[in-house]
Amino acid sequence: MLTERENKFLERAIELSREGMKGGKGGPFGCVIVQGDEIVGEGCNQVTSSNDPTAHAEVVAIRDACKKLKTYQLEGCEVYTSCEPCPMCLGAIYWARPKRVVYANTKDDAASIQFDDDFIYKEIAAPMNDRKISFVHAPHPKAQKVFQDWKEWEGKTEY
């Protein structure tokens, strides 16, 4: 059971999902990022309107929050999203490091309206040679040198 505060943020994410869908921006997904009692980032799915397959609601909201907060990590923040995050968004959320995620619809609910992430989950678990998209490992000494330089670089910002 959500508190009144939590429900308010989740309902804003749901409202964004409807606004984005009705506005022709993309699929029916919305997200807000909250710090304390303030929304610091918002997003709706903009995949089809921006021709960007990464413009999912969570990614758009994370980018918005990070820009506003001038940081690349959202420690202490909460993510409220209209649907359980897909594998890409889940990865983005873990990289952003918020303290928690609250979601309304499930990935099964999304699959029931043709947003099925099961294919991606199976591909992630599949051996590289069995994936539907060909992945070619091409080791290169110049790439290794860049990694070695990073390892030794004293001016780096680790994350």
Active site positions, annotated = 58
Q: Which long-range contacts (CB under 8 A, 24 or more apart) does 66-70 make?
A: 66/41, 66/96, 68/40, 68/41, 69/35, 69/40
Q: 46 in helix, strand or coil?
A: coil
Q: Contact, 4 vs 37, CB < 8 A?
A: no
Burial per residue of 114-137, b for 16 or more beta-carbon CB atoms within 10 angstroms, e otherwise: ebebeeeeeeeeeeeeeeeeeeee
Whole-number Cα distances in Å, 35 to 16, 38, 44, 65, 154: 18, 5, 18, 9, 32
